[in-house]
Amino acid sequence: MSASQDRLGLGMRRRLAGFSRTLRDAGFSVGRSETGDAARVIASPLADRPERLRPALKALFASNRSEYERFDELFDAFWRGRGVKRAAAVTAFGAANRPRRFEAGPPGASAKGLTERAEAEAPGAPAAEGHGRERGASAQESLARKDFARLAAGPEREEALALAERLARAMRARVTRRERARRQGRRVDLRATLRRSVARGGQPIDLKFRRRKRKPLRIVALLDASGSMELYVPVFTRFLHALSQAFSQAEAYLFHTRLAHVSSALAERHPQRALDRLSLMAQGVGGGTRIGDCLADFNRSHAKRVLHGRACVMIFSDGYDTGAPERLAAEMHALRRRCRRIVWLNPLTGRAGFAPVARGMQAALPFVDLFAPAHDLKSLAELERYLARL
Amino acid sequence: MPSERIPRETIAARLAETGYVADRELATALWMMDYLKRPLLIEGEAGVGKTEVAKALALVHGAELIRMQCYEGLDANSALYEWNYQRQLIAIKAREGSGESPESIEARIFSEDYLLERPLLKAIRRQAPPVLLIDEVDRADEEFEAFLLELLSDFQITIPEFGTVSALSIPRVVLTSNGTRELSDALRRRCLYHYLDFPDVDREAAILRARQPGIDASFALSVARMVAGLRKEELRKTPGIAETLDWAATLAGLGVSDLSAEPEIVHATLLALLKTHEDRTRVTPEVTAQLAGRAA
């Protein structure tokens, strides 16, 4: 490899290194082996015709569709652009297209992040409601039953968030354990038994059984982040974060007037950083809701990839929809056919005298397998029992 | 391995001879596979002709095509090798009274005669480098992907009872993926990458002409335009190239040579393109007529 690199002039080698750097800035993962191979390609007869280099290097450097589609522009700007101006433009372009890397800087002033929302004191019904602060052995129990909307800022809220997180992690452990215990469908695997019998001189003494290999349960969460859900969003995002940490296959989406895929933000280990990234991705949170349109977007662009027969879709929403209920019903119907279960968690259900009268909720209910409250930690814990049965 | 290297132009020309109409980027990617000895990962929607690439590549090089279809639960045994247990057992029983020493029986039943080659082992035991197509690699489990990665870097397989089998020739490896699961970065980095999109109208017309000799050039163009128009509709299942070919053949068989002239037949034959009830009801006769009018 170094031999072919030597064949390149020093100037060319520097240019190539610069190009690799540009690509890295644009979020490509470029390693030494790629750069080495690129040098070989440039030194090859192919490079006699410069217009062939672009597709060649594209096949080499791109490793997914988004990189594949962005490559031409980066290439042209770097190799064909003249002067420093274009190069600067490339770097800027790269930075704008780099959502995957965590930026340490503060989020823009315009985007009032979820984080700040989480920090901010919950309006509505703060501590002034006047419930005593239970301490001691029963503190956790009472916390578990307290409506999220009534949690005041401060240590109590932090504790609730941490509990939500622990809950999600514990869920994973229990769901998996039960799955294993159920795996007792015993069928003799003739092929493997025969194979073993070779060691016993042809007597099938050791029987080998066949087990069903199961796809792990995949949780796909859709979180309504509209204005009416404001009080609940911080807790749910924290819960989702822990859930996606625990279930390796979890996918998460946020929606309000449009849908945002936020799994990559939640993949960040540290909860605070995850929330920071989330708030960057989900701009316009806190406005109206168009559940039907967002579900349509999900069904069209994401469902094929994300859903399979062992997927459980969890929708966190109060069901207040500004769109047409017919559309929501149609999309729920389409969604129903693609996954195993739909769970709708409605934080309002826990309130005394609640009936699901919201038009959107009415339209969606026929397609929902489990309609459950999600206003306190106890109700979230109930979920575990349900998931374990799937 | 000093296998003769075919220039890029020749690859493109030979691809065209085999009836595969490739764009410039794909021809370059195929050339680079040879030059850098790296596998090629092709992604794209269902029906854009990913598998066809491997078939065409085998024709171009005059090589054998070994295909491995991935599925969930695919394990090393069905991908690599298996012993022929039934034959082994018979061999043991048959020699029981013959006084042959256990060692020699053992050596016999673990010899090549009793080894069943599966695609991956087959691919590395050929004298002439074959084309190995690993189809829909995203359907296999993650563990299998890791195993594949090892094979693709070493090209040797260890069979405990038999020894290590090194590659006689390095196969040309084409992997395809539909994106039902995100592939690992490690696998992506080992491979060259090509994203195959639906062909543009001109290329699809060229494909029609290549695959159905005798088709009228302007008719091929209007068929391609019509299908391109359909792909822009919001369909549950977008028609692929194979479906376009089917449809064109159907129309030719019915003697249709002008799409806008016979809207009823055109609409009735759309079942070659639209494969779900929802899509069928969405594309009403009026929509068909409109699309056909624009395409003709």
Distance from the A347 Cα atom to the nearest Cα atom in chain B, whole angstroms:
32
Residue B122 lies in a domain: yes
Same domain for B48 and B136, yes or no, is yes
Mean pLDDT of chain A: 72
Residue identified by tokens 């029609």 is: B208
User: Is B195 in Cβ contact with A65 (below 8 Å)?
Assistant: yes
Same domain for B29 and B95, yes or no, is no
Residue B1 lies in a domain: no
Assess A101–B contact: CB distance below 8 Å, yes or no.
no
Three-state secondary structure call for residue A369: coil
Put simply, the chain A residues between 39 and 58 with a CB less than 8 A from any chain B CB are: 40-41, 44-46, 52, 55-56, 58
CA geometry: angle A348, A349, A352, nearest 5 deg: 95
Q: DSSP letters along A223-256, please?
A: EE-SGGGTTTHHHHHHHHHHHHHHSTT-EEEEES
CA-atom Rg of chain B in angstroms: 24
Same domain for B56 and B35, yes or no, is yes
Interface mutation target, options B25, B95, B100, chain A, most CBs of A under 10 Å: B25
Nearest CA in chain B to A72: B25
What is the maximum alpha-carbon separation in chain B? 84
> Tens digits of per-residue pLDDT, A242-257?
888 777 778 889 888 8
pLDDT at B53 (0 to 100): 92
Confidence of residue B11 (pLDDT cuts 50, 70, 90): confident
B65-69/B40-43 β-pairing: unpaired
> Tens digits of per-residue pLDDT, B185-226?
888 888 999 999 999 999 999 999 988 888 889 999 999 999
Q: Find the helix or strand (DSSP H, E) in which B34 lies.
A: helix B24-36
Assess A130–B contact: CB distance below 8 Å, yes or no.
no
Same domain for B59 and B143, yes or no, is yes
CA-atom Rg of chain A in angstroms: 27
In chain A, what residues touch B188 (CB-CB under 8 Å)? 63-64
In chain B, what residues touch A206 (CB-CB under 8 Å)? none
Domain count, chain B: 3
Of B7, B72, B193, the CB nearest to A63: B193
Alpha-carbon span B83 to B77, nearest angstrom: 9
Residue B133 lies in a domain: yes
Within 13 Å, how many C-alpha atoms sit on residue A292's CB side?
17
Assess A215–B contact: CB distance below 8 Å, yes or no.
yes
Distance from the B45 Cα atom to the nearest Cα atom in chain A, whole angstroms:
11
Q: How many CB pairs under 8 A join A and B?
A: 86
Confidence of residue A172 (pLDDT cuts 50, 70, 90): low
Spell out the alpha helix ranges (H) of A337-374.
359-364
Residue B157 lies in a domain: yes
> Tens digits of per-residue pLDDT, B81-97?
888 888 888 888 888 77
Nearest CA in chain B to A69: B195
Residue B164 lies in a domain: yes
pLDDT at B179 (0 to 100): 73
Task: Tell whether the model's pLDDT for residue B114 goes beyond 80.
Answer: yes
Asked if A249 contacts A345 with a C-beta cutoff of 8 angstroms, the reply is: no
Residue B2 lies in a domain: no
Confidence of residue A204 (pLDDT cuts 50, 70, 90): confident
User: Is B8 in Cβ contact with A65 (below 8 Å)?
Assistant: no
Which of B155, B173, B195 terminates a domain? The answer is: B195
Q: DSSP letters along B104-159, please?
A: HHHHHHTSGGGEEE-HHHHHHT-SS--EEEEETGGGS-HHHHHHHHHHHHH-EEEE
Domain CATH for B183:
3.40.50.300
Assess A155–B contact: CB distance below 8 Å, yes or no.
no
pLDDT at A143 (0 to 100): 58
Q: Which residue has the higher pLDDT, B145 or A285?
A: B145
Provide the token pair at A85: 């101006």
User: Is A64 in Cβ contact with B189 (below 8 Å)?
Assistant: no
Interface mutation target, options A68, A261, A308, chain B, most CBs of B under 10 Å: A68
User: Is A191 in Cβ contact with B192 (below 8 Å)?
Assistant: no
Of A37, A64, A69, the CB nearest to B36: A37
Assess B110–A contact: CB distance below 8 Å, yes or no.
no
Confidence of residue A109 (pLDDT cuts 50, 70, 90): very low
How far out from the chain centre does Cα B175 lie?
8
What is the maximum alpha-carbon separation in chain A? 81
In chain A, what residues touch B40 (CB-CB under 8 Å)? 59
Q: Across residues A145-169, what is the average pLDDT? A: 67
Provide the token pair at B34: 């040879």
- Total-model pTM: 0.65
Same domain for B229 and B290, yes or no, is yes
User: Is A202 in Cβ contact with B93 (below 8 Å)?
Assistant: yes
Same domain for B38 and B173, yes or no, is yes
pLDDT at A30 (0 to 100): 85
E strand segments, B32-145:
40-43, 65-69, 81-83, 115-117, 131-135
Asked if B224 contacts B267 with a C-beta cutoff of 8 angstroms, the reply is: no
Residue B3 lies in a domain: no
Residues paired with A315 in a beta bridge: A222, A344
Distance from the A92 Cα atom to the nearest Cα atom in chain B, whole angstroms:
25
> Tens digits of per-residue pLDDT, B125-165?
999 999 999 999 988 887 888 888 888 888 888 888 778 88
Q: Across residues B28-50, what is the average pLDDT? A: 90
Q: Across residues B68-76, what is the average pLDDT? A: 84
Of B24, B73, B89, the CB nearest to A194: B89
Which of B174, B195, B216 terminates a domain? The answer is: B195
Same domain for B155 and B24, yes or no, is yes
- What is the domain range of residue B112? 81-116
User: Is A64 in Cβ contact with B43 (below 8 Å)?
Assistant: yes
Distance from the A114 Cα atom to the nearest Cα atom in chain B, whole angstroms:
28
Confidence of residue B260 (pLDDT cuts 50, 70, 90): confident
Give Cβ neighbours of residue A66 (< 8 Å, ≥ 6 apart).
none
Same domain for B212 and B156, yes or no, is no
Same domain for B49 and B163, yes or no, is yes
Strands of the sheet containing A341-346, edge to edge, are A259-261, A251-255, A218-224, A311-316, A341-346, A370-373
User: Is B35 in Cβ contact with A41 (below 8 Å)?
Assistant: yes
User: Is A201 in Cβ contact with B24 (below 8 Å)?
Assistant: no
Same domain for B175 and B216, yes or no, is no
B131-135/B156-159 β-pairing: unpaired
Which of B159, B177, B195 terminates a domain? The answer is: B195
Same domain for B205 and B183, yes or no, is no
Number of residues written out for chain B: 296
Helix A32-43 and helix B24-36, axial crossing angle in degrees, nearest 10: 110
Task: Tell whether the model's pLDDT for residue B73 goes beyond 60.
Answer: yes
> Tens digits of per-residue pLDDT, A331-365?
998 898 888 889 898 888 777 777 777 788 888 88
Assess A131–B contact: CB distance below 8 Å, yes or no.
no
Same domain for B223 and B273, yes or no, is yes
Assess A338–B contact: CB distance below 8 Å, yes or no.
no
Residues paired with A342 in a beta bridge: A313
Closest Cα partner for A45 from A37, A53, A34? Answer: A53
Task: Tell whether the model's pLDDT for residue B57 goes beyond 70.
Answer: yes
User: Is B89 in Cβ contact with A197 (below 8 Å)?
Assistant: yes
